[in-house]
Amino acid sequence: MCRPNALLEFYDPTLSTDASLRPTSPTQIEARKVDSSNQSVYHLSGDVKLTRADQQLQADQAEYDNQTTDYAASGNVRYQEAGQLLAAASMRGNSAANRGVADQVRYQMLKSHGNGTARQGVLLDAARSRYASATYSTCDVGHHVWEFRARSISIDQGTGVGVARDATLRVGKVPLLYLPYFSFPTDDRRKSGFLYPTLAHTSRSGFELAAPYYLNLAPNYDATLDPRVYSDRGIMLGGEFRYLLGGSNGQLNLQYVPRDHGSPSALADTTGTHRYLLNFSDHTPLWAHWALRTSINRTSDSSYLYDFANKGQGRTVYSLASSAALVGGGTWWNAAFGGIAYQNTNPFLTDSALPYRQLPYAMFNLDIPVSRWLEAGVDSAAVAFRKPGYISGQREDLAPYVAASFGGAAWFVRPRLAYRYTAYQLDSDRARYGYYGLLGSGAGSPFVHDSPSRALPIASIDSGLIFERDAHLFGQAYTQTLEPRLYYLYVPYRNQDALPLFDTNLMTFNYWQLFSTNQYSGADRQMNANNLTGAVTTRLLDAGGAERLSASFGQIRYFTPQRVQLPNGQDSVVPATDWSGSDYVAQLNVQLSSRWRVNSAYQWNPNTRQRDVAVLELQRRLGDDGIVNFSYHYRRGLLEQYSASMVYPLSERWRLVGALAWSVPDHRMVEALGGVQYDSCCVALRLVMRSYVNQGYYGYGPASAPTNLDKRDNAVLFEFEFKGLGSTGGQLEPLLQRDILGYQQ
C-alpha cells in the first residue's frame, strides 16, 4: 500500500549499513573546490560529500577539521547513516563522537516507515536522536494522513522506542487527541504501551469502549490489561497473560464485571451480581514423550456469553469444555489420561443438552509396521461417563487390528481385519433411566444388565485402479485420470439395544462415509454390514500437477438389512431398514482458472426417491483482493439456506464487505453483515454492522426442549489502526474470515 521508493530523494542504497566500522574507517572527502591553508581545516564547496563507513554527509559547502573531526555544513544538507536519513538547511557536529545538530530538518527512519519534520534535530550518539518542534508519522513522506505534532520527539534505535512529549495526534488537519507523554515503537520489537481503543455497540450491552494496555514484561512472558466500559452494564476489568517458562507455554484470559447494572439476562436475573469469564490453557512437558495439557474455561453464569462475548466471534458458543490430560507419544504409539467436563452457556437450555462428562478417561493407540506391506496395532479407550439425570457408568473399548497394503503406480489393494470388544459397568440405579434420562411412570428401562458387552469382527478390503490419458479442454492440455474403486465391508450383527448412548450419534453421510467402517460416532453403536461400495473419480491435472477438476460418484449396496439403529426420542428402537442401497453421492469441484471456483455435492435417496443433500458453492475473484461468494446448502429435514458474501474493492484503498444468510424454511435472515474498510500505507479503518442470532435451540438434546427458540442481536464494531504504532487487537478479522470465504485483511 505504500508508494514505491518512498524515501527521501538522496537515499544511497550502496552505502554500508554497518555502524560498527566507523571507528576504524577513514573519512573520504569529495568536493569541486577544496581550500586547506592550515593543513587541518578543509574549506569545501560544490557537491561536497564526506563519507565514513555507513555515514555520508552531502552539502553545497562545508568545513571539516581533520584533527578534531568537527564539521559544519550548509546549503542543501543531506545526511545518511545506517538507521536514518536527514535533510536540513544546515548541520554541525563531531564525526568521531557521532554527534550533530541540524536546523530545519526532514528526517526518516530506515528500519521503519517513520518520518517527519522538525525545527531542529540533534544526533546524540550513534543510536539516539532528538527533534524539537517535530512531527512523526508512518505515512509516506509528504502524504501524511495522520501525524503527531510534539514539542519534542526522542528516538532510540537501540531499543526501538520513540517518545513524544506535549504531543497532539492529528488526522488530516484535525486535532484528535492530546497526550503530554506518549511512547511508540520505531521497529517491529514489542514494547509496553497503550493499544488503540475499540468502540462497539450491541443491543444487549449498549456502547462499549475499551482501552487496552500492553505490558512487555520479559522476552518470555507478557500481559495485556483490557478495561472496558459498557453503557448498559458497567465496568469490566479484563486481562491476558502469556508465558513461556521452562518449556511450558500457556495463556490466561480473565474478564470480571464487579457489578452488572444491566437488564435481566435471558431467563435469569443477573442484575447487581458480579460476573466473570475465565480461559486458561497450558502445555507443560514433564519427561521424555510425556506432557500435561490443561484447558479451563468457565463463566459465572450461562448468560455471560449471550450478554457480552458473541458480537464478533462469528459463531454462537453453546457450551464450554474444561479438560486436563497427561498425554504421551512415540514413534508407534500415543496415549492420554485425563478428564473433561462441560458448562452450559445457552441460557435458553438446561444442562441436559450438555455432553456427558468424561471423568476420567484413558486411551492408548499402537500402530507397528511389521514389514513394508503389513502393519498391526490396537485402538483402546476406557471412560467413566457422568451426567446428572442420565444413566452413568464406565465403558472400555478395545480394537486390535492387522492391515496390509499392496499396490503399484496404477493399482492398490488394502485388506484390514479388526476385532472390537466393548464392555460396560453401569451404575446400580440403571433401571431408573432410559436413553434420554429418567423414565416416566410405568416405563421400562432398556438397561437390563449392569455389565453389558459387545464383541464382533470387522473385515474390509479396499481396492482401486488409476488410469491416465492426455486430454485437451478449452485449448489447454491436461492429464485426465479415471479411478474406479471398490470397498467391501463385513461386520456381523449384534443386538446393542441394551447399551447406553454416552457419546454416540449418527454421523453426517457424505462421500467419505462410503468407505467408513461405522456410520456412528463414539463406541456405543457399531453398525452391522455386508456392504459393497462402488465409486469412481476422474481428475484433470494441469502441466504443473495442480488439480483443476475433480468429479466423484458412488453408492453402497447392502446385501443384508441395516439392523443396528438408534432409538427415537421416546426411547423405542427404530426398526431395521430394508434398503438395498445407500444414497447416490456425487461431488464436483472445478477451478479451471484462478478467478473462478465451483464446489458442489448432491445426494439422492433411491429408497425415498428424494434428495437428501444439495450443495453449490461459487466463488469469483475480483482483482487482487476482491471476492464474491454464493452458496446453497440443503439437507432434508434440517437445513435449506442461501448465502452470499463479498469483498468488493471500490478503489485501491476502499473496500465494501458483506455477508447474508437466508433460511428458506423459516423465511428469515439468519445473519446479515455489512461494512466498509479503508486500508492505506499507514492507517486502516473498519466499520462493520451485524445482525445475528445470539443464542437459540435447533433440535438437539431432549425431545422436551423448546424448539425454534432464538434471540437476535445487533452489533456495530469499529476498528482503526495507525500502522507502525499499534492496533485494536483484531476483533473483526476472525468474524470476516468465517463469513467471507477467501477473505484476507
Domains observed in the chain: 19-189 (2.60.450.10), 398-423+457-599 (no CATH)
Higher pLDDT, 190 or 265: 190
Phi-psi sector, 708: left (phi>0), alpha (psi -120 to 50), beta = left
Residue carrying C-alpha cell 491436461 = 478
Please write the tens of the pLDDT for every residue from 694-712.
Answer: 665 443 333 333 444 456 7
pLDDT band at 582 (very low <50, low <70, confident <90, very high): very high
Higher pLDDT, 287 or 530: 530
What integer pLDDT is reported at residue 36 of this predicted model?
80
Measured distance CA(351)–CA(343) in Å, rounded: 8
The pTM of this model reads 0.81
Name which of 373, 376, 395 is nearest 384 in CA terms. Answer: 395
Per-residue pLDDT for 532 more than 60? yes
Please write the tens of the pLDDT for every residue from 226-264.
Answer: 999 999 889 999 999 999 998 899 999 999 999 988 776
Higher pLDDT, 530 or 738: 530
pLDDT band at 714 (very low <50, low <70, confident <90, very high): confident
What integer pLDDT is reported at residue 498 of this predicted model?
93
Q: Are 745 and 214 in contact (CB under 8 A)?
A: no
Measured distance CA(469)–CA(541) in Å, rounded: 11
Measured distance CA(517)–CA(111) in Å, rounded: 58
Measured distance CA(563)–CA(586) in Å, rounded: 26
Sign of CA dihedral 15, 21, 27, 28: negative
C-alpha cell at 516: 467408513
Amino acid found at 341: A
Higher pLDDT, 141 or 631: 631
Higher pLDDT, 270 or 371: 371
Q: Are 457 and 529 in contact (CB under 8 A)?
A: no
pLDDT band at 220 (very low <50, low <70, confident <90, very high): very high
- Furthest-apart CA pair in the chain: how many Å? 120
Q: Please report which helix (H) or strand (E) contains residue 605, including its range.
A: strand 596-605
Q: Are 702 and 353 in contact (CB under 8 A)?
A: yes
What integer pLDDT is reported at residue 704 of this predicted model?
37
Name which of 518, 516, 517 is nearest 505 in CA terms. Answer: 518
The mean pLDDT of 511-526, rounded to a whole number, is 96
Per-residue pLDDT for 461 more than 70? yes
Q: Enumerate the H helices of 227-337 as residue ranges.
A: 304
Q: Please report which helix (H) or strand (E) contains residue 633, including its range.
A: strand 626-635
pLDDT band at 573 (very low <50, low <70, confident <90, very high): confident
Higher pLDDT, 629 or 41: 629
What integer pLDDT is reported at residue 700 of this predicted model?
34
Cis link prior to 360 (omega < 30° from 0)? yes
Higher pLDDT, 164 or 196: 164
What integer pLDDT is reported at residue 695 of this predicted model?
60
Name which of 56, 49, 132, 122 is nearest 91 in CA terms. Answer: 122
Can you list the positions of beta strands (E) in 66-197? 70-80, 84-94, 99-109, 115-123, 128-136, 146-156, 161-171, 174-185, 193-194
Q: Are 368 and 377 in contact (CB under 8 A)?
A: yes
What integer pLDDT is reported at residue 726 of this predicted model?
60
Per-residue pLDDT for 4 more than 90? no
Residue 493: is it exposed, middle or buried by C-beta count within 10 angstroms (0-12/13-18/19+)?
A: middle
Please write the tens of the pLDDT for every residue from 675-684.
Answer: 999 888 888 8
Please write the tens of the pLDDT for every residue from 482-507.
Answer: 999 999 999 999 999 999 999 999 99
What integer pLDDT is reported at residue 162 of this predicted model?
87
Q: Out of 179-188, 212-221, 726-735, give the one with best mean pLDDT.
A: 212-221
For 347, phi then psi, to 5°, come to -70, -10
